[in-house]
Structure 1
Amino acid sequence: MKTKAERNTRRYKEIRKAIFIPGLAAFSQFYMFQPLLPSLSESFLVSPAVSSLVVSSSMIGDLLDGLSLKLDRKKRFKRIKKW
């Protein structure tokens, strides 16, 4: 099996889709809550700026998830080196 996909081949296009679709899904989650912001603002009697913290909290959650994965990889690598 080749390690590098040649441009404009079926394999190349499948790899591009495999990278693009999860990336699109991840970034669309940041904007998923925005249509709810006016309702949150009215329901909880807070300003629109405060209700936008819902979007910020989803980004913080994603950041923490990425950091935990990075730390876990470092621990696994150290265990492998000791072995």
Structure 2
Amino acid sequence: MVIRDAHSLGIGLRAARLKAGLTQAELAERSGVSRRTIINVENGHSAGEIGRIITIARALGLVMVLEEASNTGDVGIDLKWGDL
């Protein structure tokens, strides 16, 4: 999934959380952030620091890859399962 803004980042993280069978509270505990932070990020209100977002992604077994999109020249972030 290519992340173009805070909203699509939230959608991607929520989808990964649900796929993992975790509640927001369980993900908060696993990633060491508050449930409120999880809620804010999932709703596209990720004004928080990128470090917290990366921590949440890692707790879901995701890595974030910054790469240039080949057909548009836009830069996006791609969420992928597993380690690179």
TM-score, with structure 2 as normaliser: 0.25
Q: Which structure is higher in strand share?
A: 2
Higher relative contact order (Cα pairs below 8 Å, separated by 6+ residues): 2
TM-score, with structure 1 as normaliser: 0.25
Mark the structure with the bigger radius of gyration: 1
